[in-house]
């Protein structure tokens, strides 16, 4: 996996005329493209699903967020034997296996939500961790699950830091990667003074997830970065 130092991207300059933000409609289109491409690459992985939201009691696809649930993190003993998954060295198990999992190591699971921020006009990654018994993980537990490079990014970069906020749709405390500075480095990642509209829309979330995913140890299939949507 390639480690991207977000602070270096921002220091490279801000000459692009596009400001790196995304409209709500473009977020929706990019979310659909990301979920579709992710499934095409590997349908055995946990899948991103669009969750429509209710406004005045009416369910509408016009507003919503992406959900990736029950991504299991390996115990230390499993890390040596695991293969292909959403976490580096993770083994996916079903609920039946979880119930039987045991004694020395407690399995950790994570849910990830990609939510549009109307204030910053960029996507935001919300996530929560919990044990196989359903007990929520605190920040110390989550930090122990992060690979060393992710912990380094979170501790040293002012552009990518973790905080606990109320989930905008669930009204419960979730951890999130703060969107401060996201538009600055996104205009550099997507590239060009004014990227083509189709490129910006379809590949925005893919480029964004390639940075924020590694910050929380979420592995992104390399094929997702190929611009073949």
Both structure tokens of 79:
């890390």
**Which residues are the active-site residues?**
180
Tens place of pLDDT for every residue, the chain, 229 residues? 444 455 544 444 444 478 888 999 999 999 999 999 999 998 988 999 999 986 655 556 678 999 999 998 865 444 434 443 465 544 333 333 223 333 446 789 999 999 999 999 999 999 999 998 889 998 888 888 887 777 777 677 655 678 899 999 999 999 999 898 898 888 888 765 555 565 566 788 988 998 888 888 887 888 887 654 4
**Which three-class secondary structure state does DSSP give residue 134?**
coil
CB 173 within 8 A of CB 165: yes
**Which three-class secondary structure state does DSSP give residue 126?**
strand
Entry pTM: 0.78
Q: Domain locations in the chain? A: 6-225
CATH class of 6-225: alpha beta
As to burial, measured by CB atoms within 10 angstroms (0-12 exposed, 13-18 middle, 19+ buried), residue 90 is buried
* Dist CA 14 CA 17 (whole Å): 8
């Amino acid at each position: 996996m390639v480690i991207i130092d977000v602070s270096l991207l921002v220091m490279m300059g801000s000459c692009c005329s596009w400001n790196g933000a995304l409209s709500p409609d473009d977020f929706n289109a990019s979310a659909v493209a990301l979920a579709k491409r992710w499934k095409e690459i590997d349908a055995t992985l946990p899948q991103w699903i669009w969750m429509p939201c209710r406004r005045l009691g009416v369910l509408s696809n016009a507003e919503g967020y992406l959900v990736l649930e029950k991504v299991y993190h390996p115990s230390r003993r499993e890390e040596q034997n695991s293969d292909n998954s959403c976490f580096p060295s993770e083994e996916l198990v079903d609920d039946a296996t979880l119930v039987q999992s045991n004694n020395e190591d407690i399995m950790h699971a994570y849910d990830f939500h990609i939510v549009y921020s109307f204030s910053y006009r960029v996507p935001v990654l919300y996530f929560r961790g919990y044990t196989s018994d359903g007990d929520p993980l605190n920040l110390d537990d989550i930090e122990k699950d992060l690979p060393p490079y992710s912990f380094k990014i979170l501790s040293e970069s002012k552009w990518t830091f973790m905080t606990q906020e109320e989930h905008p749709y669930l009204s419960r405390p979730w951890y999130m990667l703060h969107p401060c500075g996201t538009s600055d480095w996104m205009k550099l990642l997507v590239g060009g003074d004014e990227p083509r509209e189709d490129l910006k829309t379809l590949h925005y979330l893919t480029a964004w997830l390639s940075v924020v995913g590694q910050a929380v140890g979420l592995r992104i299939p390399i094929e997702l970065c190929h611009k073949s949507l």
